[in-house]
Amino acid sequence: MIFPRHLLSVDDLDYDQAVKVLDTASELSKFSGSSIKKLPTLRGKTVVNLFFEDSTRTRISFEAAAKRLSADVINFSVKGSSVSKGESLKDTALTLGAMGADAVVIRHHFSGAAQRLADAGWISGPVINAGDGTHEHPTQALLDAYTIRSKFGKDSEGLSGLQVIIVGDILHSRVARSNVFLLTKLGAEVTLVAPPTLLPVGIENWPVKISYQLDPLLSSADVVMVLRVQKERMVQSFFPTEREYSRHYGMNSHRLKSLSGESILLHPGPMNRGLEIDALTADSSRSMIVNQVTNGVQIRMAVLYLLLSSQQVVGEEV
């Protein structure tokens, strides 16, 4: 199977390629419990983590993933770098390229920054989008799909027939956008729940249902994905008060009781406990929030492996 050179958007992957990433992560997870976690697969390669925006889970899991595949890792964060002296993305990228970066993982506050890096050719190897503005976060969607698939036992298939609710700040969420397009590609039915002020323009063209009310949907959901209220991206007031937001859209122990069967709860993190989710719900047995973090390492190993393995042609090695 041929893989795209870069992973900038979930649209870069067709159905078979997306399933291949999930299957590869599943294979790689078999090594995570063994005493020797390292595989020699990417020995001699250098992966650069280029983070212009804060991150805990994504940055650390890409680092762990690269190291478990025996790659060398260079971590670049804006704080303490020459970016604070005004150095451009181009000059930063050329500098890292000159140091022998084989792949670059980039997080940036501008939507399209990863695409710019890939198109400009300042770096010779693959570019992986670790979140660009409000645009996309493809590896988050892949790890969410992997977490859902692992729970519902659909190992050799996509996510056909599963009902997924994504609730909260859709407007500012690259996680929502990537999940909508990946989960529906894999066969899930997605409903977005938010106040009208937190839905983006053009949402009617997305392959989803829309609801302004959460409660009527809970009993039929297999997955409830709660989004962080991204206060740092809000330049105006999108809801009257935080209490009002929580009352209508927050997942709490009362709403938890409305969930049925084996349904699960996801949150990409970091959480605003007490706003979009309460502590009892976040720490409940239905919560797979910690599993998402673990799965993030397997997914990022799979992505690095598939994009960096020789000639971009993936055989049956894994």
Binding residues for ligand CP (CB under 6 A) = 55-58, 131, 140, 268-270
Shortest Å distance, C-beta 310 to ligand CP: 29
Q: How far is CA 19 from CA 111, 164, 219, 262, 264, in A?
A: 26, 18, 28, 23, 21
Shortest Å distance, C-beta 283 to ligand CP: 18
Of the two residues 55 and 191, which places its CB atom closer to ligand CP in the complex? Answer: 55
User: Per the omega criterion (within 30 degrees of 0), is the bond before 200 cis?
Assistant: no
Of the two residues 41 and 230, which places its CB atom closer to ligand CP in the complex? Answer: 230
Of the two residues 136 and 278, which places its CB atom closer to ligand CP in the complex? Answer: 136
Shortest Å distance, C-beta 77 to ligand CP: 12
Amino acid at 308: L
Of the two residues 171 and 318, which places its CB atom closer to ligand CP in the complex? Answer: 171
Shortest Å distance, C-beta 141 to ligand CP: 11
Contact criterion met (CB below 8 Å) for 106 and 128: yes
Shortest Å distance, C-beta 149 to ligand CP: 18
Strand partners of residue 59? none
243: Cα within 13 Å, side-chain hemisphere: 0
Shortest Å distance, C-beta 78 to ligand CP: 14
Pairing of strands 163-167, 264-266: unpaired
Which DSSP category does 136 fall into?
B
| Beta-carbon count within 10 A of 257 CB | 8
Contact criterion met (CB below 8 Å) for 59 and 79: no
Of the two residues 301 and 314, which places its CB atom closer to ligand CP in the complex? Answer: 301
Of the two residues 126 and 131, which places its CB atom closer to ligand CP in the complex? Answer: 131
Shortest Å distance, C-beta 269 to ligand CP: 5
Shortest Å distance, C-beta 137 to ligand CP: 6
| Beta-carbon count within 10 A of 206 CB | 18
Of the two residues 39 and 60, which places its CB atom closer to ligand CP in the complex? Answer: 60
d(CA 162, CA 159): 6
User: Largest Cα–Cα distance in the chain?
Assistant: 56
Selection from 88, 102, 94, 111 nearest residue 48 by Cα: 102
Contact criterion met (CB below 8 Å) for 303 and 260: no
Pairing of strands 264-266, 223-226: parallel
Q: How far is CA 244 from CA 37, 195, 227, 305, in A?
A: 47, 11, 16, 45
Of the two residues 230 and 309, which places its CB atom closer to ligand CP in the complex? Answer: 230
